[in-house]
Amino acid sequence: MGAALTIPFTDSGNEVRLWFTEYDEAIWKLVHKGKEHPRIKVRLPDSLKLYRPDELEDAVRGADYVVIAVSSAGVRPVSARIKGLVGGETTCMVVAKGLEEVEGRVFRMTEIVERYAGVKRVVYVSGPSLAAELAKKQPTFVVYSSADISLARSARKALETEYYRIFLSDDVVGAELSAALKNVYAIAYGIATGSSEKAGVPRENLKAAVISKSLEEMGNIIVRCGGKKDTVYGLSGIGDLYVTATGGRNSMFGRLLGSGLSLEEAVEEMKRRGVGVVEGYRNAKVIAKFLAEKRIGREEAPLLFSVYDVLYTGASVEKVFKALAK
């Protein structure tokens, strides 16, 4: 996603720098030689400045906007590394999705950036944006959220293009929780899809019920955590859930479970496909902990906890279908 974002950010007239993590060395070698980026299948802009893993500090220094687009687990170490280099007029844009546990407590991504990078100007980026489509300049609509909406507005002014349209919101909690929760609900959708393939009969009615129930639970959880219900029903919620459920890896994993594979077999099969452990699997555990901290019980999110139980307590996928009738 970081690489894909360099395309609209360049088109909107900015000097753009791209830093590669230590996991991206192989990609750096290709991009450095002017070759196609292997994940998003496009050549990156010629004007782009490339930075290797040990050059993070150079990449960040003097930037107006620092966009953190690493895995959720990477947000804390990256934030710690850029501390002191960002601040004052720099705005940190956070694209990472998920919740992370630090010293026994669960934090949202922007909380980690604020805490470990020591920045106050933070904007959260969410909404349905598959990187490969954005990189091909296909129409993409996202949301910039910030408690101080003028920050999000300034970022929009600097970064919007004809094909990358930005909406504004002050509901950071709603946007971040939607982004984290949707991965788990996408597994439920995948389970419904897989069960349909196993039965050899379309089950669109069931899949629609999963989406509907997912939104209901996401809305309730977010309101309990101080966010706004409308966020769940916008681009950050249903929009992102739609692309994740109908396309992503979380749903692929659920599909394997729904088609009859055991948890171990499904994990094995995902590895065989070169995908590894999906975010929703890891997230389900930290989300369960987060909900416990917020005193949100199982009865308030039966579908979410049914997926958790399939992943962590040996429950069968039937539990997911039963949760829909609650």
Q: Does 223 bind a copy of itself (CB under 8 A)?
A: no
Q: Does 170 bind a copy of itself (CB under 8 A)?
A: no
Q: What is the DSSP letter of 257?
A: H
- What is the β-pairing status of strands 105-108 and 99-102? antiparallel
| Cβ pair 119, 81 in contact under 8 A | no
CA dist 105 to 24, 86, 115, 294, Å?
30, 25, 13, 11
**Between 225 and 243, whose beta carbon lies closer to a copy of itself?**
243
> Which token pair is 261?
């594979």
State the nearest-atom distance from the C-beta of 186 to a copy of itself, in Å: 13
Q: Does 211 bind a copy of itself (CB under 8 A)?
A: yes
Q: Does 71 bind a copy of itself (CB under 8 A)?
A: no
State the nearest-atom distance from the C-beta of 104 to a copy of itself, in Å: 35
Q: Could you give the 3-state DSSP secondary structure of residue 101?
A: strand
Choose the catalytic residue: 182, 207, 213, 319. 182
Q: What is the DSSP letter of 37?
A: B
The single residue among 26, 102, 199, 275 that binds a copy of itself, judged by CB under 8 A, is 199
**Half-sphere exposure of 248 toward its Cβ, with a 13 Å CA cutoff?**
23
CA dist 45 and 16 (Å) reads 9
The single residue among 38, 139, 226, 276 that binds a copy of itself, judged by CB under 8 A, is 139
Q: Does 262 bind a copy of itself (CB under 8 A)?
A: no
The single residue among 91, 140, 193, 283 that binds a copy of itself, judged by CB under 8 A, is 140
Number of residues that bind a copy of itself (CB under 8 A): 43
Contacts of 168 (CB under 8 A, 6+ apart): 143, 144, 145, 149, 152, 153, 156
Give residue for tokens 């050899």. Answer: 200
CA dist 216 and 106 (Å) reads 23
Q: Does 138 bind a copy of itself (CB under 8 A)?
A: yes
CA dist 100 and 259 (Å) reads 30
State the nearest-atom distance from the C-beta of 320 to a copy of itself, in Å: 11
Count CB-CB contacts under 10 A for residue 32. Answer: 11
Q: Does 212 bind a copy of itself (CB under 8 A)?
A: yes
Q: Does 242 bind a copy of itself (CB under 8 A)?
A: yes
Question: Does the active-site annotation cover 213?
Answer: no
The single residue among 130, 158, 225, 263 that binds a copy of itself, judged by CB under 8 A, is 130
Binding window for a copy of itself (CB under 8 A); candidates: 46-54, 96-104, 116-124, 318-326: 318-326
The single residue among 14, 141, 147, 161 that binds a copy of itself, judged by CB under 8 A, is 141
Give residue for tokens 């094909």. Answer: 163
Q: Does 124 bind a copy of itself (CB under 8 A)?
A: no
Task: List the end-to-end C-alpha distance of the chain, in Å, as a whole number.
Answer: 37
Contacts of 258 (CB under 8 A, 6+ apart): 190, 191, 192, 193, 194, 195, 196, 197, 198, 317
State the nearest-atom distance from the C-beta of 12 to a copy of itself, in Å: 15
Q: Does 165 bind a copy of itself (CB under 8 A)?
A: yes
Total count of residues recorded for the chain? 326
- Residues pairing with 296 in the sheet: none
State the nearest-atom distance from the C-beta of 159 to a copy of itself, in Å: 15
Q: Does 260 bind a copy of itself (CB under 8 A)?
A: no
Q: Where on the chain is the footprint of a copy of itself (CB under 8 A)?
A: 128-130, 132-134, 136, 138-141, 165, 199, 201-209, 211-212, 215-216, 219, 229, 232-235, 237-240, 242-243, 246-247, 321, 324-325
Residues noted as catalytic: 182
